Amino acid sequence: MRPGEGDFDEVDRDACLRAILGVEAGFKYEILSKEDWYGRRLIASKFRNGCAFIAGDAAHIWVPYAGYGMNAGIADAMNLSWLLAAHLNGWAPASILDAYEAERWPITSQVSKFAMSHAEAEARRRGAVPPEIEDEGPEGARVREEIGRLTYEINVQQYACAGLNFGTYYDASPVIAYDGAEQPAYTMSRYTPSTVPGCRTPHCFLADGNSLYDAMGPEFTLLRFDPAVDVTPLEAAARRRGVPLKVLDLERPDVAAYDDSVLLLSRPDQHVAWRGAGLPNDPMALIDRVRGAAC
Percent pLDDT > 90 in the chain is 65
Task: Give residue 46's pLDDT.
Answer: 95
Most confident of 121-125, 159-163, 275-279: 275-279
* pLDDT of 295 above 90: no
Instruction: Give residue-wise pLDDT tens across range 196-225.
Output: 999 999 999 998 899 999 999 999 999 999
Q: How far is CA 70 from CA 50, 81, 169, 203, in A?
A: 25, 16, 18, 22
Instruction: Give residue-wise pLDDT tens across range 109-130.
Output: 888 888 888 777 777 766 677 8
Within 10 angstroms of residue 113's Cβ, the number of other Cβ atoms is 13
Tell me which of 100 and 188 has the higher pLDDT. Answer: 100
Task: Give residue 130's pLDDT.
Answer: 85
| Residue whose C-alpha is closest to residue 17's, from 29, 3, 35, 1 | 29
* pLDDT of 146 above 70: yes
Task: Give residue 117's pLDDT.
Answer: 81
Task: Give residue 289's pLDDT.
Answer: 98
Q: Are 43 and 108 in contact (CB under 8 A)?
A: yes
Strand 60-61 with 263-266, pairing: unpaired
Most confident of 102-111, 154-163, 212-221, 245-254: 212-221
> What does the alpha-carbon distance between residue 282 and residue 286 come to, in Å, rounded to a whole number?
7
> What does the alpha-carbon distance between residue 100 and residue 84 come to, in Å, rounded to a whole number?
9
Average pLDDT of the chain, as a whole number: 91
Tell me which of 122 and 99 has the higher pLDDT. Answer: 99
Q: How confident is the model at residue 91 (pLDDT cuts 50, 70, 90)?
A: very high
* pLDDT of 63 above 90: no
> What does the alpha-carbon distance between residue 188 and residue 66 come to, in Å, rounded to a whole number?
11
* pLDDT of 4 above 80: no
Instruction: Give residue-wise pLDDT tens across range 39-56.
Output: 888 999 999 999 999 999
> What does the alpha-carbon distance between residue 239 and residue 264 come to, in Å, rounded to a whole number?
18
* pLDDT of 71 above 90: no
Instruction: Give residue-wise pLDDT tens across range 79-90.
Output: 999 999 999 999
